[in-house]
């Protein structure tokens, strides 16, 4: 296969190039930014791209956002193997939801065997899907968390947002123009819908806010 590597770590990039070349693959000139990845794919039409999630300039999600673009274009999707230290849940879920094969997502720290990695490369290049179990687990957790919040009414979400701002029940009541009794009913309903039992009474408010922040930061 003709393979393009998009990885900003010089040492890791060199190691991947050596492994893949020794396995008989043809290596296109490697790139270190998402912009160069997109340009190289357009110019050289590789058979497979191996992409890191976090790349320059911000080292957040440039690589995986580029992978989503490569997978969503017209015509057959480019086979992409995401190889990263991180599970970027939002874009990983988007990649997998739209996948029709030729997709892989492996965590660098969990690739312990060279032969397993090379088998994954071959599998993705031949149209299969290869996903690290940890990637799947985190996406499932995110999906469940989002489903829980989806069950809240607009007023309950408003109350939870105000809770996340650290406001007391009286302050929430003032902002929402309702009584404190109504706020207590909203909060009780929130606890029930988020599965926070009475046994967790000392922590339920904190746990509810954490669930809200965890899902909202990935929306």
Rounded distance between C-alpha atoms, residue 43 and residue 22, angstroms: 25
- Write out the two tokens for 148: 């829980």
Domain boundary, last residue among 103, 132, 161: 132
Whole-number Cα distances in Å, 149 to 94, 127, 162: 19, 35, 15
Is there a single domain that holds both residue 128 and residue 159? no
Query: 63-95 pLDDT, tens per residue?
Result: 999 998 888 865 677 999 999 888 887 777 777
Rounded distance between C-alpha atoms, residue 56 and residue 60, angstroms: 8
Is there a single domain that holds both residue 175 and residue 71? no
Rounded distance between C-alpha atoms, residue 109 and residue 204, angstroms: 34
Within-domain flag for 41: yes
Mean pLDDT of 146-151: 73
Rounded distance between C-alpha atoms, residue 199 and residue 184, angstroms: 17
Backbone angles phi, psi at 82, to 5 degrees: -85, 125
Ordered DSSP codes for 141-186: HHHHHHHHHHTS-HHHHHHHHHHHTT--HHHHHHHHTS-HHHHHHH
- Write out the two tokens for 127: 């149209």
Domain limits at 188?
Answer: 151-216
Within-domain flag for 81: yes
Is there a single domain that holds both residue 186 and residue 115? no
- pLDDT value at residue 74: 55
Is there a single domain that holds both residue 127 and residue 194? no
Q: How confident is the model at residue 217 (pLDDT cuts 50, 70, 90)?
A: very low
Query: What sign does the CA torsion over 183, 151, 64, 110 have?
Result: positive
């Amino acid at each position: 296969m003709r393979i393009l590597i998009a990885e900003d770590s010089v040492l890791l990039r060199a190691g991947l190039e050596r492994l893949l070349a020794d396995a008989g693959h043809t290596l296109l000139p490697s790139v270190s930014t998402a912009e160069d990845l997109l340009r190289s794919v357009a110019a050289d039409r590789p058979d497979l791209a191996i992409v890191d999630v976090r790349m320059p300039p911000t080292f957040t999600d440039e690589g995986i956002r580029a992978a989503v673009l490569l997978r969503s274009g017209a015509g057959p999707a480019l086979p992409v193997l995401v190889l990263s230290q991180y599970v970027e849940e939002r874009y990983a879920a988007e990649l997998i939801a739209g996948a029709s094969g030729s997709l892989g997502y492996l965590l660098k720290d969990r690739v312990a065997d060279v032969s397993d990695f090379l088998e994954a490369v071959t599998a993705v290049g031949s149209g299969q899907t290869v996903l690290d179990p940890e990637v799947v687990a985190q996406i499932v957790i995110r999906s469940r968390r989002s489903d829980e919040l989806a069950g809240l009414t607009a007023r309950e979400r408003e109350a939870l947002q105000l809770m996340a701002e650290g406001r007391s029940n009286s302050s929430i009541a003032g902002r929402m123009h309702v009584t404190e009794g109504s706020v207590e009913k909203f909060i009780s309903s929130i606890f029930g819908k988020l599965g926070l039992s009475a046994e967790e009474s000392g922590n339920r408010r904190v746990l509810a806010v954490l669930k809200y922040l965890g899902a909202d930061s990935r929306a």
